[in-house]
């Protein structure tokens, strides 16, 4: 049995393949099947004159998502998806598919989410999951080459590493337990044993809000390195992100094309050094008090708003035109085609209208930003709008960072944390920093954060027995997938997303 991705090695030969009927179109005496098998997509042509009447009849009745075994000859055709097509000589039906609920027309997001188990079969979801897979591979390749050891942290934990507000509580036999919101503290212990480690596992946060970048269950990569200060940490993060993006661009061309990802946004990633801004500098940018390349963030936002308004007008004009067109007497096929375009335009307009509403809000929240606060999503968007590569923000007010973040000796109000913000509004993809090594400072922080000291005794041991400077970070897998794929919402970047209000399927 030959997989679609391997068709190119069988040009001119007759082979067998199996898969699902993704789509079908009929001509006179000919049926065009788009077959998918998980490895790729291919057009398979059944022509009446080349097959038995029974086979042709079977081809005519094939419905969407029927599973089939096909045999036929592989022909090169650059115009076709995948570049090769099959001229079918026989069809065997493996599993029928009656009234498949997802068609080619536009569906609402709740409907698609309820049918996530089937929606995964669509081309777009296939492309996203392939890229997710490549990113995972690329992460392992990077760290393994750099001499890191993969270790794993527990999912059941007895302590709340960063306070308990976003924890899922659970029972561990007769004890109270939480699902891990980070593996970091354990990562630190493992780094003291292994030098450089990374964990890669599921993470749980009860984020009680519906945003486009928060899941309740997500995967995080958390490297932790002994003998690393925060500058070394930032160098590592930058190389790491450059590696992932370059690797995906090189190996997922077909997938990125399916997603219609605008690749020009990545053109400088490998070449340019990521800007490193202190928190103080970043705040000035947000408030429009610091220019980048002669421009203030607030001016750029005002320009963006005008651009969005123009785009909305253009799309509305196009919509009107299509609505006029469809009102005339047209063939069913043409009508469906235009209707699809109309639905698509309406969706695009409503997306743009959201941005149109958002920009004035970003502007006012930027103006009112209070020094000392953490950045909200809109603040991150404003900062990254000024650059075309990810931006690192470091040296944060220690009060808004976790208890284990190292205080800067020169500036005691600041902690040596770093966040990496992805462009185009994707926001924070990495949070990390250097870890506190001063036992007394840690003790006072644990008290200040009202954390149960007893649960942290093992962690404090790490400072008593051969403590060394060390740093680490966490990269959210799904946010990275969303950014590279250019998806509107993080929920499409994991097979079965869990977010506020969604537990099924
Ligand atoms: P945010 O402020 O954006 O909610 P955070 O500061 O709480 O994120 P960290 O604790 O620094 O996040 O976690 C490290 C990384 O994990 C983040 O940079 C992000 O990529 C990812 N991450 C955090 N929370 C979520 C979430 N709810 N869903 C998906 N990814 C997340
Ligand atoms: Mg963070």
- Interval between CA 415 and ligand 1 midpoint (Å): 18
Residue 22: predicted pLDDT: 96
428 lines ligand 1 (CB under 6 A): yes
Weakest-pLDDT range from 23-27, 72-76, 337-341: 337-341
Average pLDDT over residues 424-453: 94
Identify the nearest ligand to the CA of 381 by its number. 1
Residue 53 has pLDDT above 80, yes or no: yes
4-95 under CATH 3.90.440.10, yes or no? no
Centre a 10 Å sphere on the Cβ of residue 97 and count the other Cβ atoms it contains: 14
Residue 160, helix vs strand vs coil = coil
In order, the DSSP letters of 224-263 are EEET--HHHHHHHHHHHHHHHHHHHHHH-HHHHHHTT--G
Mutate to test the pocket of ligand 1, among 241, 479, 489, 502 (most ligand atoms within 8 A of CB): 479
d(CA 76, CA 42): 11
Structure confidence by residue, pLDDT tens digits, 444-475: 999 998 888 998 999 999 999 999 999 999 99
The Cα 484–Cα 480 span in angstroms is 6
Verify whether ligand 1 is closer than 6 Å to residue 281 (CB atom): no
Question: Band of the pLDDT at 163, cuts 50, 70, 90?
Answer: low
How high is the pLDDT of residue 340? 85
Could you tell me the distance, in angstroms and rounded to a whole number, from the CA of residue 222 to the centre of ligand 2? 12
Name which residue sits closest to atom 11 of ligand 1, judged by CA.
431
Would the pLDDT of 164 be above 70?
Answer: no
Q: Is 433 helix (H, G, I), strand (E, B) or coil?
A: strand
Residue 161: band (very low, low, confident or very high) from pLDDT cuts 50, 70, 90: low
Does the pLDDT value for residue 285 go beyond 90? yes
What pLDDT sits at residue 105?
Answer: 78
Alpha-carbon distance of 38 to 36, in angstroms, equals 6
CB 383 within 8 A of CB 421: yes
> For position 339, what pLDDT does the model report?
87
pLDDT in tens, 89-120: 999 999 999 999 998 777 889 999 999 999 99
What is residue 160's predicted lDDT score, i.e. its pLDDT?
A: 67
In this prediction, residue 203 carries a pLDDT of 96
pLDDT of amino acid 367: 87
411-440: burial string, b at 16+ Cβ within 10 Å, e else: eeebbbbbbbbbbebbbbbbbbbbbbeeee
What's 469's DSSP letter?
-
Do residues 7 and 74 touch, judged by C-beta distance below 8 A? Answer: yes
Ligand 1 centroid–CA 227 distance in Å is 25
| pTM of the predicted protein model | 0.93
Query: Are the C-beta atoms of residues 338 and 326 closer than 8 Å to each other?
Result: yes
DSSP string of 393-420, one letter each residue: EEEEEGGGS-TTBPBPSSSTTEEEEEEE
> What is residue 114's predicted lDDT score, i.e. its pLDDT?
97
CA 263 to chain centre: 15
Percent of the chain whose predicted confidence (pLDDT) is above 90: 84
For residue 314, the SS3 value is helix
C-beta of residue 434 within 8 angstroms of C-beta of residue 407? no
Is 80 exceeded by the pLDDT of residue 427? Answer: yes
Instruction: Indicate if ligand 1 lies below 6 Å from the C-beta of 425.
Output: no
Give the ligand whose atoms come closest to the C-alpha of residue 420: 1
Q: What is the mean pLDDT of the chain?
A: 94
Q: For the residues 120-133, what does the mean pLDDT come to? A: 97
For the chain, the structural domain boundaries read: 4-95
What is the 96 CA–ligand 1 centroid distance (Å)? 43
For the segment 339-348, the average pLDDT, to the nearest whole number, is: 89
Distances in Å between the Cα of 64 and the Cα atoms of 98, 121, 424, 476 are 8, 11, 36, 36
156 within 8 A of 177, measured Cβ to Cβ: yes
Q: In what order do the strands lie in the sheet with 276-278?
A: 149-150, 196-204, 217-226, 470-476, 427-434, 414-422, 391-397, 276-278
Pairwise CA distance, residues 84 & 92, whole Å: 21
482 three-class SS = helix
Residue 331 has what pLDDT? Answer: 84
Of all protein residues, the one whose alpha carbon is nearest to atom 5 of ligand 1 is 431
Query: What's residue 179's pLDDT?
Result: 95
What per-residue string of b and e applies to 391-406 under the rule 16 or more CB within 10 Å gives b? bbbbbbbbeebbbbbb
- pLDDT at res. 191: 98
What percent of the chain shows pLDDT beyond 70?
Answer: 99
Nearest atom, ligand 1, residue 377 CA: 3
Q: What's the confidence (pLDDT) of residue 310? A: 96
């Amino acid at each position: 049995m030959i997989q679609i991705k391997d068709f190119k090695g069988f040009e001119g030969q007759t082979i067998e393949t199996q898969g699902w009927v993704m789509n079908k179109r009929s001509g006179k005496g000919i049926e065009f099947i788009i077959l998918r098998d998980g490895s790729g997509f291919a057009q398979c042509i059944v022509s009446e004159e080349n097959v038995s009447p029974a086979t042709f009849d079977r081809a005519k009745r094939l419905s969407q998502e029927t599973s089939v075994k096909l045999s036929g000859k592989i022909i090169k055709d650059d115009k076709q998806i995948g570049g090769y097509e099959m001229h079918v000589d026989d069809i065997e039906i493996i599993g029928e598919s009656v009234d498949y609920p997802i068609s080619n027309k536009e569906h609402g997001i709740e409907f698609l989410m309820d049918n996530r188990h089937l929606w995964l079969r669509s081309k777009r979801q296939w492309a996203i999951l392939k890229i997710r897979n490549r990113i995972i591979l690329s992460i392992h390749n990077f760290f393994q080459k750099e001499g890191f050891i993969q270790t794993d942290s527990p999912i059941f934990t007895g302590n709340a590493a960063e306070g308990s507000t976003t924890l899922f509580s659970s029972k561990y036999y007769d004890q109270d337990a939480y699902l891990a919101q980070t593996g970091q503290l354990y990562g630190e212990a493992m780094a003291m044993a292994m030098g450089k480690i990374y964990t890669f596992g599921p993470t749980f946060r009860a984020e009680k809000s519906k945003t486009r970048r928060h899941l309740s269950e997500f995967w995080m990569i958390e490297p932790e390195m002994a003998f690393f200060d925060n500058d070394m940490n930032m160098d590592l993060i930058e190389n790491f992100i450059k590696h992932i993006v370059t690797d995906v661009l090189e190996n997922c061309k077909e997938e990125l094309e399916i997603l219609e990802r605008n690749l020009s946004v990545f053109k400088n990633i490998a070449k340019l050094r990521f800007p490193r801004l202190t928190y103080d500098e970043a705040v000035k940018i947000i408030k429009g008090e610091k220019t980048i390349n002669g421009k203030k963030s607030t001016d750029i936002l005002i320009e963006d708003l005008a651009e969005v308004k123009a785009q909305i007008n253009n799309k509305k004009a196009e919509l009107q035109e299509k609505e006029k067109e469809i009102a005339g007497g047209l063939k069913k096929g043409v009508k469906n085609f235009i209707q699809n375009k109309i639905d698509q335009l309406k969706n695009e307009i409503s997306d743009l209208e959201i941005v149109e509403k958002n920009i004035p809000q970003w502007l006012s929240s930027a103006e009112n930003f209070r020094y000392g606060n953490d950045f909200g999503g809109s603040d991150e968007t404003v900062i990254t709008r000024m650059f075309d590569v990810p931006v690192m923000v470091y040296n944060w007010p220690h009060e808004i960072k976790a208890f284990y973040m190292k205080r800067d000796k020169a500036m005691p109000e600041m902690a040596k944390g770093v966040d990496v913000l992805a462009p185009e509004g994707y926001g924070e993809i990495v949070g990390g920093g250097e870890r506190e090594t001063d036992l007394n400072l840690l003790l006072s922080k644990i008290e200040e954060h009202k954390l149960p000291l007893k649960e942290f005794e093992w962690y404090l041991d790490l400072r008593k027995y051969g403590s060394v400077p060390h740093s680490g970070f966490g990269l959210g897998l799904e946010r990275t997938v969303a950014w590279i794929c250019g998806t509107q919402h993080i929920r499409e970047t994991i097979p079965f997303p869990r977010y506020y209000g969604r537990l099924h399927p």
